[in-house]
Amino acid sequence: VIVSGIGKSGHIGKKIAATLASTGTPAFFVHPAEALHGDLGMIESRDVMLFISYSGGAKELDLIIPRLEDKSVALLAMTGKPHSPLGRAAKAVLDISVEREACPMHLAPTSSTVNTLMMGDALAMAVMQARGFNEEDFARSHPAGALGARLLNNVHHLMRQGDAIPQVMLATSVMDAMLELSRTGLGLVAVCDEQHVVKGVFTDGDLRRWLVGGGALTTPVSEAMTPNGITLQAQSRAIDAKELLMKRKITAAPVVDENGKLTGAINLQDFYQAGII
């Protein structure tokens, strides 16, 4: 969709083009004067031109309309005068007429520009719905925004890896598991078997309960751990994983692959730092 317009209509047109583009419809703005000096070359027969002119009589139209017809480009009008030259030449007309402008002199485009913007937003939303554009699509065109962070990141994008993963074996002593807790500061240690499949977690709370109960530090951590604790799938959406942690009122969890093998670890702070709030 190529959007065009003069003056205030042009300013509104730029916003409409931006909204169309960000909601899944390829669109850009072309100034009518620039169109007549080469930018018509940007327009192809498969395109649609949305021309905005409240009066429908912009003089540039006298030169633009024949060129659009030569290229078989469909013309869509947004005008307050449906029977104007623009309205008559268009394949379809969106009526943006108002009874009067908010300007005390009834001159400056005010009410009409608001009407134009509303019509443009309505058009963009209708096209978005018709195209089946969804939240994931929106996030892909807004990767730097908060929605992009929420919907585009998976757990494996944010998780701690390598030496940053707190892990011990089933036969590791409680003492060594405690040292691993302190080394990483994540609040838990993943307890794994020889195939690195997670069998449980050993947390700060587990350590306190073990010591208060008189447990020996030389005992295997498998006797002090929480078996079958919460784990997160590496390929799951980060926002879903974060909500699971909050629902279960835990601050961290091991990350596993489809076979249950340890691949990483993550805590709530990792989500917050990535903008997933």
Give the integer Cα–Cα distance in Å for 51 and 267.
52
pLDDT at residue 97, rounded to an integer: 95
CATH of the domain at 32: 3.40.50.10490
Q: Please give the helix or strand (H or E) that residue 262 lies within, else none.
A: strand 262-267
pLDDT at residue 275, rounded to an integer: 86
pLDDT at residue 94, rounded to an integer: 97
CB 3 within 8 Å of CB 29: yes
164 and 43 co-located in one domain: no
pLDDT in tens, 254-277: 999 999 999 999 999 999 998 887
112 and 156 co-located in one domain: no
Average pLDDT of the residues in 10-38: 96
124 and 181 co-located in one domain: no
Number of structural domains the chain divides into: 2
Structural domain containing residue 75: 2-133
pLDDT in tens, 153-199: 899 999 999 999 999 999 999 999 999 999 998 999 999 999 999 99
Whether 229 shows a pLDDT value over 90: the answer reads no
93 and 195 co-located in one domain: no
81 and 120 co-located in one domain: yes
pLDDT at residue 2, rounded to an integer: 97
Nearest Cα to Cα of residue 201 among 162, 251, 159: 251
- Asked, for residue 143, whether it belongs to a domain, the answer is no
Q: Which of 105, 133, 161 is the last residue of a domain?
A: 133
29 and 88 co-located in one domain: yes
**How far from 38 is each of 30, 33, 131, 157, CA to CA, in Å?**
11, 9, 31, 45
179 and 83 co-located in one domain: no
124 and 156 co-located in one domain: no
Give the integer Cα–Cα distance in Å for 240 and 155.
9
- Give the phi and the psi of residue 51 in degrees, each rounded to 5: -105, 130
pLDDT at residue 138, rounded to an integer: 86
- Give the phi and the psi of residue 264 in degrees, each rounded to 5: -175, -170
Q: Which of 99, 133, 167 is the last residue of a domain?
A: 133
40 and 116 co-located in one domain: yes
Q: Which of 100, 133, 166 is the last residue of a domain?
A: 133
Average pLDDT of the residues in 227-255: 94
pLDDT at residue 28, rounded to an integer: 97
- Give the phi and the psi of residue 270 in degrees, each rounded to 5: -65, -40
> Which structure tokens are listed for 8?
């205030």
- Asked, for residue 146, whether it belongs to a domain, the answer is no
Helix H segments across 131-198?
135-140, 146-152, 155-158, 174-184
CATH of the domain at 262: 3.10.580.10
Q: Is 177 exposed, middle or buried (0-12, 13-18, 19+ CB in 10 A)?
A: buried
156 and 126 co-located in one domain: no
pLDDT at residue 141, rounded to an integer: 82
- Asked, for residue 18, whether it belongs to a domain, the answer is yes
pLDDT at residue 73, rounded to an integer: 95
Average pLDDT of the residues in 62-89: 94
pLDDT in tens, 123-164: 999 999 999 998 888 888 877 777 777 778 899 999 999 999
- By three-state DSSP, how is residue 47 classified? coil
- Asked, for residue 40, whether it belongs to a domain, the answer is yes
pLDDT at residue 221, rounded to an integer: 97
Nearest Cα to Cα of residue 54 among 5, 15, 103: 5
- Asked, for residue 139, whether it belongs to a domain, the answer is no
- Asked, for residue 102, whether it belongs to a domain, the answer is yes
Average pLDDT of the residues in 12-40: 95
In single-letter form, the type of residue at position 268 comes to: L
Q: Considering the chain, what is the average pLDDT of its residues?
A: 94
pLDDT at residue 241, rounded to an integer: 95
Tell me the sheet residues that pair with 254.
Answer: 265
Give the integer Cα–Cα distance in Å for 156 and 266.
9
pLDDT at residue 40, rounded to an integer: 93
129 and 7 co-located in one domain: yes
211 and 103 co-located in one domain: no
- Asked, for residue 120, whether it belongs to a domain, the answer is yes
- Asked, for residue 140, whether it belongs to a domain, the answer is no
DSSP conformational letter for 27: -
